[in-house]
Amino acid sequence: MNNLILLMIGVFFGFQTMACDACKQYENDNFKITSVRVEHSEKLAATIWEIKVSGKAGKTTPIPAGQLNGAPVLGYVFPTSLKSTDVGFSETEGIVTLALTSHPDFDDTPLWDENADQNFDNDGVVWHPHWVVLRDDKSVEGGFSVKEFEKGDPNVQLPPTNPGMPMYMDSPGFQVITQGNKIRVVVPDYRINNQTNFSYDGVTAYMEINTENEEKPMLGVYKVYAIASGDLSLPYNVK
């Protein structure tokens, strides 16, 4: 495990004692992880990522805030050992993470129509995937935020499917399936640089958008509900 991940683990456990009032209403069995699995299928040339919970996966979605600032985001999250360049970002430090999210106040997947109603900007509440790069962040209770950059920075590269925000974020459009106590996403091999030998973990979390407070990140993690490994050590390997 590299030093950056060890640092982030320390920051995470240091901040879990801080309060997050908005987070408490979503702390239920639908976010209590019982297992996590990433399995490679040679037949499909894809990996199938799965989080299993003790309740119903994806059943709970955020209550709308009615505005972008303070908009809640819920996530089933896979921190990985993948490199940023494996998923189409320029080289940068941080934890490359696949996050399955729901957020009713905004739509950040302009290329995809997840609810199939021919309107491409009204389906943020439907569970959908993002690649993000996480960094440690002491300004938020959960200890992490999505890594930001100066808009227009010529050294930053994002995949063409990115939502246009000054963060290391992509909206890749992978298929997400909720079924009983499991949530899954299918990732084609070529979309992760044909990497099939990496480590990962499973996390459920509450995040929030900030557009007004310059001391807070644009998208921060305010509460982690569960960690599959218990210590965010990324101990699992692709089967």
| Domain layout of the chain by residue ranges | 3-237
Confidence check: pLDDT of 159 > 90: yes
Sheet holding 33-41, edge to edge: 33-41, 46-53, 182-188, 175-179
Q: What confidence category does residue 171 fall into, taking pLDDT thresholds of 50, 70 and 90?
A: very high
**Mean pLDDT across 177-188:** 98
Report the Cα–Cα distance between both ends of the chain, in Å, rounded. 19
Tokens of 65: 């805030």
What residues contact 123, with CB distance under 8 A and at least 6 apart? 107, 109, 112, 113, 114, 115, 117
Tokens of 12: 């995470």
Residue 231 neighbours by CB distance under 10 Å: 12
Q: What confidence category does residue 17 fall into, taking pLDDT thresholds of 50, 70 and 90?
A: very low
Confidence check: pLDDT of 13 > 60: no
Predicted local confidence at residue 2, as pLDDT? 52
**Closest by CA position to 16, among listed 231, 235, 236:** 231
CB 148 within 8 A of CB 167: yes
The rounded percent of the chain whose pLDDT value lies above 90 is: 82
* Widest pairwise Cα distance in the chain: 48
The strand pair at 128-136 and 236-237 is best described as unpaired
Q: What confidence category does residue 238 fall into, taking pLDDT thresholds of 50, 70 and 90?
A: very high
**Closest by CA position to 134, among listed 183, 98, 185:** 98
CA distance 125 to 10: 32
What residues contact 80, with CB distance under 8 A and at least 6 apart? 95, 96, 97, 98, 198, 199, 200, 201, 234
The DSSP call for residue 4 is H
Q: How far is CA 186 from the centre of its chain?
A: 15
The rounded percent of the chain whose pLDDT value lies above 70 is: 92
CA distance 184 to 82: 19
Q: How far is CA 99 from the centre of its chain?
A: 2
**Mean pLDDT across 20-48:** 94
Predicted local confidence at residue 54, as pLDDT? 98
pLDDT digits (tens, 9 = 90+) for 90-133: 999 999 999 999 999 998 898 877 878 887 777 789 999 999 99
The DSSP call for residue 18 is S
